[in-house]
A and B are shown apart, each in its own frame.
Chain A
Amino acid sequence: MTSEPPLVPLSVRPISAAEHLDFVRSRPSVSFLQTPAWAQVKNEWRGESIGWFDGSTIVGAALVLYRQLPRLKRYLAYLPEGPDIDWSDGDVARWLTPMAAHLKKQGAFGIRMGPPVITRRWRAATIKQAIADPVLGSLSDVPADERDEAAIELRATLSALGWKEIPTEGGFSAGQPKFNFQLPLAGRDEADLLAGMNQLWRRNIKKAAKAGVEVTTGSRDDLAEFHRVYAETAERDSFTPRPLSYFQRMWDALSAEEPDRLVLYLARHEGDLVAATTMVRVGEHAWYSYGASTTQKRDVRGSNAIQWQMMRDALAAGATTYDMRGITETLDPDDSHVGLIQFKVGTGGEAVEYLGEWDLPLNRALHLGFTTYMRRRG
């Protein structure tokens, strides 16, 4: 009989932002929500960087955002799209147990995390066919093109450890989206990316170039111009816009970390700004984060031109994934969200399903009160 060597218990302790950043830089990629700079963007939360140590070697890290309960010195500890640990380790308890102990000591009544673990993938062609088929109403109805058994088993493991998955409605929850759309870039070139797009995308990219749409990158001063178009978009699509100061804070925090962490893109036609976006990149992962477009001059296809420029820049910067962020699970052609999916599907990428967000109540009563409060807030 052979026996596995006993695993050394891991310890968790706070680390400095500099140590944290060093660890982030040593990794191929982590979510931008897990960079130390993100704590400064989310200034209504208290941020803390923590590290996992195997002896004296740092082997994992996370950004914890603490949100205080009204009138109490107790917190929800939130690790958006984190922690950044070895999720493929057969023994996740070895990582999560010392984390929970540390966060409890810090006054957390509950922990919320979003393991950056992909369980299933659907290719563009599959999704396109499913949208055309009235019987297939959501991604879960459609056979996935890839499925990660080990990732799916994590579900059972987390449940056994007392974690509870936060239910989502159509893939939307209060937190980070469970379903995302990503364009794989690894081993591809521009011609290959174009060939993978649908005809409409290729035509619109050409159309924008022919119309003379110019895409440039902007400076902090251009954020105001971006914000003007963003506010117009918010009104058109009826969502609440974030204030300009939020984007300025994001710019300052992220740019201080890496000069090209956050890039502002501006698409102009004959001098008029027609679309504006931001792209964030951490290592090999680039995210299209905020987008805006004017109602005027939609026919010059500024949105396609600006996306294409971001994709090319991500490719040139060595990114392996261009991430277009959240989609809903629905594939119902009558659902208003399906247009967004179709726009993203046209890039030829893939839909991915993450493990979702999970809660660990540390104080049952406070946690119950908190979740009830969050539900009422809607």
Chain B
Amino acid sequence: MSGFDLDVDAARWRRSLGTVTETRPRLVPVIKGNGYGFGRDLLCRESTALGVDTIAVGTYDEVPAALAAFDGDVMVLTPWRPFFVDAVIDDRVIHTLGRVDDVAALAAAAPGARVLLEGETSMARHGFDRHELAAAVAVLGDLRVEGFAIHLPLRSVAPGGNYGEAERWAAALEASQVETTTLYVSHLTPGEVGALSARRPHLDIRPRIGTSLWLGDLGALSVRATVIDSHLVARGEHIGYRQRAMPRDGTLLIIAGGTSHGIGLESPKAVSGVVARGKQLAKGGLEAAGLSLSPFRIGGKQRWFAEPPHMQASMVFLPGDVEAPAVGDSVDVAVRFTTATFDAINLR
């Protein structure tokens, strides 16, 4: 069925995956959440084709399917906690640890389990303070340390940026009692990983990559939202669940793609800077007037929602002077792939 679909130019997409894999030696693909729009199973199969030995998933909930779809090791990015009821203990699973108490608890619960120790970076999300590492090592018991992990922000404001922070952690790891030479990193450029490897030849630096691998060539991807219905409306006509009055004469389009597809989800925008903030405020002004810009593009412009998106379709208003697409036609949608769910993913 065609509705809210992702069309993938498979040859082009796989070329991009191949290029990233070649330029990022020892990479660990990250496959978590909605699978960057592709779904996790598809990405697991692609990872097998890429020939990588390890993938990283977000949560324990995602582990069983990953173990089924991928033959190598599966590391879990969310640190293990004693109160997790779905933790999967399997010899192919690599757990992340970030608290001394948790190290002792996992050592007791699953002796022999494979683990990563994570350092708390400027992200301040999970991980050990560097001065806790000796205490963590002291309670390792039979746990097998497979590596050390750092999760960096997109861009660190620490001296030297992400590279500086990564190098300080690499140095701390080497001076610590943690006996591993494998360092898993995120959000370092290929150049930064190369420089770090050159400066720290004893370390095996493995980048964990999600977005820039799977969404590395957006040109290979197109999102198609099918026009399901179309009605001419007059100014002042009341439409929709909320019976809102139309601002002008025009066309009301019913387009596949609603909240269940990730349309209309709002999250704080990753904006910084005065201009960007100003734009957001301006947009907020229109939103305050009861209108919202939709992600659907018709005639080269983003169009306004006629009312808040429904679960599976959206109602979009098109002014009368714009030529409306026909029922069955598809329109472009600007989606956020990490929150999108498609009705179908078509590898062509």
Contact = CB atoms under 8 A, between A and B. Distances in A.
Interface of A: 120, 126, 129-130, 133, 135-136, 141-147, 149
Interface string B133-170: 11100000000000000000000000000000001101
A126 B130 CA distance: 13
B172 A147 contact: no
Contacts of B176: 143
10 contacts: A120-B131, A129-B174, A142-B130, A143-B134, A143-B175, A143-B177, A146-B134, A146-B135, A147-B131, A147-B132
A143 B168 contact: no
B236 to A, nearest CB: 64
Contacts of B326: none
A147 B175 contact: no
B347 interface: no
Contact of B134 (A129, A133, A145): A145
B171 A147 contact: no
Contacts of A146: 134-135
Counting from the closest, the 4 A-B pairs by CB-CB distance are: A135-B171, A143-B176, A144-B131, A143-B130
Given A147-B131, A147-B132, A142 B172 contact: yes
Interface in B46-74: none
Contacts of A143: 130-131, 133-134, 172, 175-177
A135 B168 contact: yes
Nearest to A353: B131
B177 A145 contact: yes
Interface of B: 130-135, 167-168, 170-172, 174-177
Contacts of B135: 146-147, 149
A142 B175 contact: yes
Contact of B171 (A136, A145, A149): A136
- Which of A129, A133, A149 has the most chain B CB within a 10 Å cutoff? A133
Summarize B's interface: helix, strand, loop or mixed: helix
Contacts of B132: 147
A45 B258 CA distance: 79
A147 B134 contact: yes
Contact of A141 (B133, B168, B177): B168
B131 A133 contact: no
Contacts of B133: 143
A93 B102 CA distance: 31
Nearest to B100: A149
A135 B177 CA distance: 17
Given A142-B175, A143-B175, 14 more contacts: A133-B171, A133-B174, A135-B167, A135-B168, A135-B171, A136-B171, A141-B171, A142-B130, A143-B130, A143-B131, A143-B134, A145-B177, A147-B132, A147-B134
A338 to B, nearest CB: 16
B49 to A, nearest CB: 38
A303 B188 CA distance: 49
Nearest to A148: B135
Contacts of A149: 135
A136 B131 contact: no
Contacts of B131: 120, 143-144, 147
Nearest to A134: B171
Contacts of B168: 135-136, 141
Contacts of A141: 130, 168, 171-172
Contacts of A129: 174-175
Contacts of A126: 175
A130 B134 contact: no
Contacts of B177: 143, 145
Nearest to A119: B131
Contacts of B130: 141-144
A136 B174 CA distance: 11
A347 B130 CA distance: 25
A136 B175 CA distance: 9
A146 B100 CA distance: 13
- Which of B131, B170, B171 has the most chain A CB within a 10 Å cutoff? B131
Nearest to A146: B134
Contacts of A147: 131-132, 134-135
Nearest to A144: B131
B139 to A, nearest CB: 13
A193 B171 CA distance: 29
Nearest to B130: A143
A126 B131 CA distance: 12
A191 B167 CA distance: 39
A259 to B, nearest CB: 41
Nearest to B136: A143
Nearest to A120: B131
Contacts of B134: 143-147
Contacts of A130: 171, 175
B22 to A, nearest CB: 29
Contacts of B171: 130, 133, 135-136, 141
A66 B141 CA distance: 52
A143 B169 CA distance: 10
A126 B175 CA distance: 6
Nearest to A132: B175
Contacts of B172: 136, 141-143
Contacts of A142: 130, 172, 175
A276 to B, nearest CB: 36
